[in-house]
Amino acid sequence: GAGVSQSPRYKVAKRGQDVALRCDPISGHVSLFWYQQALGQGPEFLTYFQNEAQLDKSGLPSDRFFAERPEGSVSTLKIQRTQQEDSAVYLCASSPRRSGSYNSPLHFGNGTRLTVT
């Protein structure tokens, strides 16, 4: 596709439910990032993939958060037993180069807005 696609655009979950958020990066992009953006805040790093390898998951807030990219393209962010504090916009971004190539801008999707009630 022309850009990074995320689905669903909106998700409402009851506290304790599991959710799965999908990211389709730009075709051929090597690097994929997940960010969490709380209302009125800047995005916060969650995790980074280079192809299928998850090279950095230091930003995942708890073991309820899990991300995968099994074939090096589509990625899924899963949140188990959702809590109200998980309510945020989850942004996915991709880049054509490895993270070590520092000067390639990131291309962001429109995000998934998760509301936990």
Partner 1 sequence: KQEVTQIPAALSVPEGENLVLNCSFTDSAIYNLQWFRQDPGKGLTSLLLIQSSQREQTSGRLNASLDKSSGRSTLYIAASQPGDSATYLCAVYGTASKLTFGTGTRLQVTL
The C-alpha atoms of residue 89 and residue 109 are separated, in whole angstroms, by 11
Smallest distance from partner 1 to CB 53, Å: 13
Q: Which stretch binds partner 1 (CB under 8 A): 16-24, 60-68, 74-82, 99-107?
A: 99-107
Q: Where are the alpha helices (DSSP H) in the chain?
A: none
The C-alpha atoms of residue 18 and residue 67 are separated, in whole angstroms, by 13
Dig out the tokens for 101 from the structure.
């190539």
Smallest distance from partner 1 to CB 48, Å: 6
- Give yes or no for a cis peptide into 25 (omega within 30° of 0): no
Taking CB under 8 A as the criterion, the residue among 77, 111, 114, 116 binding partner 1 is 111
Smallest distance from partner 1 to CB 40, Å: 7
Taking CB under 8 A as the criterion, the residue among 56, 72, 74, 96 binding partner 1 is 56
CB 48 within 8 A of CB 32: yes
Instruction: List binders of partner 1 among 8-47 (CB under 8 A).
Output: 33, 35, 40-45
Smallest distance from partner 1 to CB 42, Å: 3
Beta partners for 67?
77
Using CA of residue 75, residue 86, residue 35, residue 57, what is the dihedral sign? negative
- Using CB under 8 A, list all residues that contact partner 1: 4, 6, 33, 35, 40-45, 48, 55-56, 59, 91, 93, 99-100, 102-103, 105-111, 113
